[in-house]
Chains A and B, each alone.
Chain A
Amino acid sequence: MDLLYFAWVREAVGVGHETVDPPEAVRDVADLVRWLATRSPGHAAALADPARLRAAIDQRFVPLDAPLGDAREVALFPPVTGG
Protein backbone atom coordinates (compact mmCIF):
# COMPACT_ATOMS: atom_id res chain seq x y z
CA MET A 1 0.00 0.00 0.00
CA ASP A 2 1.34 3.43 -0.97
CA LEU A 3 1.07 6.13 1.70
CA LEU A 4 1.23 9.84 1.00
CA TYR A 5 1.59 12.63 3.56
CA PHE A 6 1.04 16.33 3.03
CA ALA A 7 1.73 19.65 4.77
CA TRP A 8 2.74 19.39 8.48
CA VAL A 9 1.94 15.66 8.52
CA ARG A 10 4.63 15.16 5.84
CA GLU A 11 7.08 17.35 7.75
CA ALA A 12 6.55 15.53 11.04
CA VAL A 13 6.76 12.05 9.50
CA GLY A 14 9.90 13.12 7.62
CA VAL A 15 8.91 11.73 4.19
CA GLY A 16 6.11 12.45 1.72
CA HIS A 17 5.73 8.89 0.53
CA GLU A 18 6.32 5.37 1.80
CA THR A 19 5.15 1.87 0.97
CA VAL A 20 3.84 -0.31 3.80
CA ASP A 21 2.25 -3.71 4.26
CA PRO A 22 -0.12 -3.41 7.23
CA PRO A 23 -1.25 -6.53 9.14
CA GLU A 24 -4.74 -8.07 8.67
CA ALA A 25 -6.06 -6.41 11.83
CA VAL A 26 -5.69 -2.97 10.20
CA ARG A 27 -9.16 -2.64 8.66
CA ASP A 28 -9.98 1.06 8.46
CA VAL A 29 -8.12 4.37 8.20
CA ALA A 30 -8.20 4.90 11.97
CA ASP A 31 -6.57 1.46 12.49
CA LEU A 32 -3.93 2.40 9.94
CA VAL A 33 -3.21 5.70 11.73
CA ARG A 34 -2.77 3.87 15.07
CA TRP A 35 -0.52 1.25 13.47
CA LEU A 36 1.59 3.83 11.62
CA ALA A 37 2.10 5.85 14.81
CA THR A 38 4.26 3.00 16.16
CA ARG A 39 6.72 3.14 13.25
CA SER A 40 8.87 6.07 14.40
CA PRO A 41 8.87 9.08 16.77
CA GLY A 42 8.09 11.26 13.71
CA HIS A 43 5.05 9.15 12.82
CA ALA A 44 3.95 9.20 16.46
CA ALA A 45 4.16 13.02 16.57
CA ALA A 46 2.34 13.49 13.24
CA LEU A 47 -0.44 11.03 13.99
CA ALA A 48 -0.93 11.57 17.75
CA ASP A 49 -4.23 13.44 17.39
CA PRO A 50 -6.51 11.81 14.77
CA ALA A 51 -9.01 14.67 15.18
CA ARG A 52 -6.51 16.91 13.34
CA LEU A 53 -6.17 14.47 10.42
CA ARG A 54 -8.09 14.01 7.19
CA ALA A 55 -7.69 11.16 4.72
CA ALA A 56 -8.14 10.07 1.14
CA ILE A 57 -8.30 6.55 -0.28
CA ASP A 58 -7.29 6.25 -3.93
CA GLN A 59 -7.58 10.04 -4.25
CA ARG A 60 -11.07 10.43 -2.76
CA PHE A 61 -11.75 12.10 0.60
CA VAL A 62 -12.97 9.59 3.19
CA PRO A 63 -13.81 9.73 6.91
CA LEU A 64 -11.33 8.10 9.28
CA ASP A 65 -13.70 5.17 9.90
CA ALA A 66 -13.69 4.28 6.19
CA PRO A 67 -12.68 0.66 5.52
CA LEU A 68 -9.41 0.27 3.64
CA GLY A 69 -10.78 -2.52 1.43
CA ASP A 70 -8.26 -3.05 -1.36
CA ALA A 71 -6.91 0.51 -1.22
CA ARG A 72 -3.78 1.06 -3.28
CA GLU A 73 -3.04 4.62 -2.16
CA VAL A 74 -3.90 6.20 1.19
CA ALA A 75 -3.12 9.83 1.96
CA LEU A 76 -3.06 11.47 5.40
CA PHE A 77 -3.05 15.24 5.77
CA PRO A 78 -4.42 18.22 7.76
CA PRO A 79 -7.76 19.82 6.85
CA VAL A 80 -7.40 21.55 3.47
CA THR A 81 -6.77 25.32 3.24
CA GLY A 82 -6.73 26.25 -0.44
CA GLY A 83 -8.29 29.15 -2.29
Chain B
Amino acid sequence: MIRVSIDPAPIELALELAALEARGAGGVASFTGVVRGDGGVTALELEHYPGMTEDALCTLAEAAMARWSLFGVTILHRVGRMGVGERIVFIGTAAAHRREALDACAYLIDRLKTDAPFWKREWRGDSATWVEPRSSDAEAAERWQA
Protein backbone atom coordinates (compact mmCIF):
# COMPACT_ATOMS: atom_id res chain seq x y z
CA MET B 1 0.00 0.00 0.00
CA ILE B 2 1.25 3.44 -0.97
CA ARG B 3 0.51 6.67 0.87
CA VAL B 4 1.74 9.93 -0.69
CA SER B 5 0.87 13.38 0.59
CA ILE B 6 2.02 16.95 -0.06
CA ASP B 7 0.62 19.15 2.64
CA PRO B 8 1.40 22.35 4.57
CA ALA B 9 0.25 20.62 7.80
CA PRO B 10 2.80 19.23 10.29
CA ILE B 11 3.86 15.57 9.95
CA GLU B 12 2.51 13.37 12.75
CA LEU B 13 5.38 10.94 13.19
CA ALA B 14 3.82 8.54 15.71
CA LEU B 15 0.64 8.14 13.66
CA GLU B 16 2.56 7.47 10.45
CA LEU B 17 4.88 4.91 12.05
CA ALA B 18 1.97 3.14 13.76
CA ALA B 19 0.08 2.94 10.45
CA LEU B 20 3.13 1.29 8.82
CA GLU B 21 3.52 -1.15 11.74
CA ALA B 22 -0.17 -2.07 11.39
CA ARG B 23 0.46 -3.44 7.87
CA GLY B 24 1.70 -6.67 9.41
CA ALA B 25 5.33 -6.03 8.59
CA GLY B 26 8.20 -7.43 10.62
CA GLY B 27 10.20 -4.23 10.19
CA VAL B 28 9.55 -0.55 9.63
CA ALA B 29 12.28 1.88 8.55
CA SER B 30 11.91 5.63 8.31
CA PHE B 31 13.73 8.83 7.43
CA THR B 32 12.67 12.23 8.77
CA GLY B 33 14.10 15.46 7.38
CA VAL B 34 14.16 18.38 9.82
CA VAL B 35 14.81 22.11 9.23
CA ARG B 36 18.38 22.93 10.30
CA GLY B 37 19.14 26.27 11.90
CA ASP B 38 22.78 26.52 10.80
CA GLY B 39 24.10 29.57 8.98
CA GLY B 40 21.54 31.81 10.67
CA VAL B 41 18.54 30.15 8.97
CA THR B 42 15.31 31.08 10.73
CA ALA B 43 12.80 29.36 8.44
CA LEU B 44 12.53 27.26 5.31
CA GLU B 45 9.99 27.65 2.54
CA LEU B 46 9.08 24.85 0.13
CA GLU B 47 7.53 25.40 -3.27
CA HIS B 48 6.40 22.59 -5.58
CA TYR B 49 4.79 21.83 -8.93
CA PRO B 50 1.20 20.82 -8.07
CA GLY B 51 0.12 17.76 -10.02
CA MET B 52 3.58 16.74 -11.16
CA THR B 53 4.86 16.36 -7.60
CA GLU B 54 2.18 13.85 -6.62
CA ASP B 55 2.86 11.83 -9.78
CA ALA B 56 6.63 11.90 -9.23
CA LEU B 57 6.29 10.66 -5.63
CA CYS B 58 3.81 7.91 -6.60
CA THR B 59 6.18 6.79 -9.37
CA LEU B 60 9.04 6.59 -6.86
CA ALA B 61 6.89 4.64 -4.38
CA GLU B 62 5.83 2.21 -7.13
CA ALA B 63 9.46 1.74 -8.20
CA ALA B 64 10.39 0.88 -4.60
CA MET B 65 7.48 -1.57 -4.30
CA ALA B 66 8.62 -3.27 -7.54
CA ARG B 67 12.27 -3.45 -6.47
CA TRP B 68 11.84 -4.66 -2.88
CA SER B 69 9.25 -6.85 -1.20
CA LEU B 70 7.37 -4.19 0.78
CA PHE B 71 4.10 -4.13 2.74
CA GLY B 72 3.83 -0.38 2.55
CA VAL B 73 5.49 2.89 1.54
CA THR B 74 4.64 6.32 2.95
CA ILE B 75 6.07 9.54 1.48
CA LEU B 76 5.00 12.83 3.08
CA HIS B 77 6.45 16.20 2.09
CA ARG B 78 5.50 19.50 3.60
CA VAL B 79 5.19 22.67 1.54
CA GLY B 80 4.98 26.30 2.58
CA ARG B 81 6.93 27.87 5.40
CA MET B 82 8.34 25.96 8.37
CA GLY B 83 10.51 26.87 11.32
CA VAL B 84 13.80 25.45 12.57
CA GLY B 85 13.27 22.01 14.12
CA GLU B 86 10.09 21.29 12.16
CA ARG B 87 9.79 18.18 9.99
CA ILE B 88 10.01 18.73 6.22
CA VAL B 89 9.82 15.20 4.85
CA PHE B 90 8.96 11.72 6.07
CA ILE B 91 9.71 8.45 4.31
CA GLY B 92 8.50 5.19 5.85
CA THR B 93 8.80 1.65 4.56
CA ALA B 94 7.40 -1.59 5.93
CA ALA B 95 8.77 -5.03 5.01
CA ALA B 96 9.09 -8.53 6.40
CA HIS B 97 12.75 -7.97 7.27
CA ARG B 98 15.04 -5.04 8.02
CA ARG B 99 17.18 -5.13 4.86
CA GLU B 100 14.30 -4.46 2.45
CA ALA B 101 12.84 -1.75 4.68
CA LEU B 102 16.18 0.03 5.21
CA ASP B 103 17.32 -0.18 1.58
CA ALA B 104 13.97 0.98 0.20
CA CYS B 105 13.91 3.91 2.64
CA ALA B 106 17.41 5.03 1.60
CA TYR B 107 16.49 4.65 -2.07
CA LEU B 108 13.35 6.76 -1.67
CA ILE B 109 14.97 9.73 0.07
CA ASP B 110 17.98 9.68 -2.31
CA ARG B 111 15.72 9.64 -5.39
CA LEU B 112 13.22 12.15 -3.97
CA LYS B 113 16.04 14.72 -3.75
CA THR B 114 16.59 14.63 -7.53
CA ASP B 115 13.32 13.31 -9.00
CA ALA B 116 10.57 15.37 -7.37
CA PRO B 117 9.84 19.01 -8.28
CA PHE B 118 10.38 20.84 -4.98
CA TRP B 119 12.37 24.01 -4.42
CA LYS B 120 13.69 25.24 -1.07
CA ARG B 121 14.19 28.79 0.03
CA GLU B 122 16.08 29.67 3.21
CA TRP B 123 14.94 32.63 5.27
CA ARG B 124 17.31 34.56 7.51
CA GLY B 125 15.09 37.12 9.21
CA ASP B 126 13.60 39.17 6.36
CA SER B 127 15.92 38.03 3.58
CA ALA B 128 15.53 34.86 1.54
CA THR B 129 17.80 32.87 -0.77
CA TRP B 130 16.98 29.92 -3.02
CA VAL B 131 18.94 26.79 -2.13
CA GLU B 132 21.37 25.55 -4.80
CA PRO B 133 21.41 21.82 -5.56
CA ARG B 134 24.35 19.81 -4.22
CA SER B 135 26.31 17.51 -6.52
CA SER B 136 26.42 14.94 -3.69
CA ASP B 137 22.61 14.62 -4.02
CA ALA B 138 22.91 13.68 -7.70
CA GLU B 139 25.64 11.16 -6.84
CA ALA B 140 23.50 9.62 -4.09
CA ALA B 141 20.59 9.18 -6.53
CA GLU B 142 22.93 7.77 -9.22
CA ARG B 143 24.06 4.99 -6.94
CA TRP B 144 20.59 3.38 -7.21
CA GLN B 145 20.69 3.06 -11.01
CA ALA B 146 20.32 -0.64 -11.72
What is A's interface to B at a CB cutoff of 8 Å?
Answer: 4, 6-8, 56, 59-61, 75, 77-83
A4 to B48, CA, bound (A): 11
20 extra A-B contacts, CB within 8 A, seeds A79-B133, A83-B116: A4-B49, A6-B49, A7-B119, A7-B130, A56-B49, A61-B115, A61-B117, A75-B117, A78-B130, A78-B133, A80-B133, A81-B130, A81-B131, A82-B89, A82-B116, A82-B118, A82-B120, A83-B33, A83-B118, A83-B137
Interface of B, secondary structure class, is: mixed
Task: Tell me whether A77 and B55 are in contact in the complex, defined as CB-CB below 8 angstroms, given that A6-B47, A6-B49, A7-B130 are known contacts.
Answer: no
Docked Cα-Cα span, A79 to B120, in Å, equals 11
Q: A75 near B52 (CB under 8 angstroms)?
A: yes
Complex Cα spacing A78 to B114, Å: 12
Interface assignment of B88: CB less than 8 Å from any CB of chain A: yes
Closest to B31 in A: A83
Which A residues are in CB contact (< 8 Å) with B118?
80-83
Question: A6-B47, A8-B130 are known contacts. Are A81 and B52 too (CB-CB below 8 A)?
Answer: no
B112:A82 contact, CB within 8 angstroms:
yes
Whether B121 sits at the interface, judged by CB under 8 Å, is yes
